[in-house]
Amino acid sequence: MSLLKLNDLYKTVILEHARAPHHYGQLADVPATTLNNPTCGDVITVQVQVTAEKISRIRFSGQGCTISQASASVMTDVLSGQSVEQAQRLIQAFSKLVIGEKVAEQWTKQLGEAAVLGSVAEFPTRIRCATLAWHAAAQALGEIDE
């Protein structure tokens, strides 16, 4: 079997994030949003704290495959410090990227390491793994907004 193909999906940056995820853990006193992927049983919990319209702290926790863990980890990097509006735009851009839609360069730049997960577009059954944390974050932000 050609390991090249595995490398297409599991880029080094993804493997590293999955092995040592950033912002993993729980915040006291911040509401938690939990989503699950019914097909694989993965569960991701995301907590977002917004101070002065900006994401001041973000954490995730839960069980999952390499893709969902890595995606959650890079997401926390990308969203930290962003305004709520900007974060929502980034989440939208990411959602497009992983289903193979074109995204303006300004967004891929800002998505940084997360843009690497665009490779998941070629693995349709894994897209849900990549988006799980981002959907949870979107939901968390939506609830803050209200």
Smallest distance from other proteins to CB 109, Å: 28
* Closer to other proteins by Cβ: residue 87 or 129: 129
Burial 97-113 (b: 16+ CB within 10 A, else e): bbeeeebeeebbebbeb
Question: Which residue's entry shows tokens 């997401």?
Answer: 75
Looking at 25, 28, 29, 41, which residue binds other proteins (CB under 8 A)? 41
Looking at 13, 30, 32, 40, which residue binds other proteins (CB under 8 A)? 40
Instruction: Report if residue 125 touches other proteins, rule: CB under 8 A.
Output: yes
Looking at 44, 50, 67, 117, which residue binds other proteins (CB under 8 A)? 67
